[in-house]
Amino acid sequence: MPPIDRYGSDVLSGDWKRPPRGRSEPTPAEPGLVVEDVETGWVGAVVRVEKAGGVHVVHLEDRRGRTKGFPLGPGFLLDGRPVALTAPRRAAEAALTRARQAGARTASGSVAVTGARARVASGSRIYVEGRHDAELVEKVWGDDLRVEGVVVELMDGVDDLAGIVADFEPGPGRRLGVLVDHLVPGTKEARIVAQAQALPGFSAHVKVLGHPYVDVWQSVRPERLGWSQWPVIPRGTSWKHGICAALGWPHDDQADIARAWKRILGTVRTYADLEPTLLASVEELIDFVTEPTA
């Protein structure tokens, strides 16, 4: 009898870079769980979860025995379904216990909650535009969100904001907070949000907030990269490629851009390394989806 191939025969068939629309199901990253990273197409079994450079990382081993680390959170597929990987329950509870014993604060500045356990995910959610947004929110607010049982999910852009809200079906006990990039008057994003909010079905159980930055990269204080301010990138030049060029970093392909973001994210230690506008929006969204009346 031939050996069972737990990875499947054709992991790249179909449009693997774009997960099917739907809510990412919170899924503990238990050893042996086989998932696919949407961004790179890497398929592997979970071998361990650890905290590195302030970020929770899940390590996946592919069929050839090669291991690669990815930030814990959304952006994975399990049997074709979008999932958000979470720390195994025991690991999450142990981390909370160590923080409490040390009298530590979370990266968001909150005092570690004494006697609390990581909660089962609630019905409410926070949606962000892309993976980089999700990774930044996880790094700074991840501990707080796990205590509250709130999951952050990817929207893959806001062009169909009205449809995204309708699919979520917000209501009592099921609130939706949405974080939008570059939400300033006169932008495409501002028009999309205004049109969605004007629709009859737009619910009081939805709150849409944003920040003024072209990309969430720009919400990191420029001093963390040795600048007094972020460079102005000329029109017609990809903003992220322009930033990498200004930093003297490689920017030939998407892999270079992904590595650049990891370096920028690595400079973020706490909320103090982020711009106040982003802080205010994220904090307000967390308050909105965790209100007792929600």
pLDDT at 170 over 80: yes
Mean pLDDT of the chain: 82
Phi then psi dihedrals of residue 13, to 5 deg: -70, 145
User: How much is the average pLDDT of 241-253?
Assistant: 93
Delimiting residues of CATH 2.30.30 domain(s) in the chain: 1-87
Query: Mean pLDDT lowest for which of 45-49, 109-113, 115-119, 286-290?
Result: 115-119
Tell me the CATH number for domain 1-87.
2.30.30
> Contact at 8 Å (CB) between 27 and 82?
no
Q: Which CATH architecture has domain 120-218+275-294?
A: 3-Layer(aba) Sandwich (3.40)
pLDDT at 237 over 50: yes
Query: 187-234 pLDDT, tens per residue?
Result: 999 999 999 999 887 889 999 999 999 999 999 999 998 899 999 999
Question: 2 pLDDT band (50/70/90 cuts)?
Answer: very low
State the pLDDT confidence band at 64, using cuts at 50, 70 and 90.
confident
pLDDT at residue 102 in the model? 56
Q: Is 36 helix (H, G, I), strand (E, B) or coil?
A: strand
Print burial letters for 202-232: b (CB count within 10 Å at least 16), e (below 16). bbebbbbbbbebbbbbbbbbeeeeeeeebee
Tokens of 113: 């909650």
Residue at token pair 């191939």: 5
Residues sharing a CB contact under 8 Å with residue 108, sequence separation 6 or more, in sequence order: 140, 141, 143, 144, 270, 271, 283
Mean pLDDT in residue range 1-14 = 41
Angle (CA) 44-256-76 rounded to 5° is: 30
pLDDT higher than threshold 80 for residue 71: yes
Check pLDDT > 60 for residue 241: yes
d(CA 234, CA 222): 18
The string of pLDDT tens digits covering residues 154-169 is 998 899 999 999 999 9
Read off the pLDDT of residues 95-146 as tens digits, 9 standing for 90 and up: 555 555 555 566 665 544 444 444 445 689 999 999 999 999 999 998 888 8
Q: Which residues belong to CATH 3.40.50 in the chain?
A: 120-218+275-294
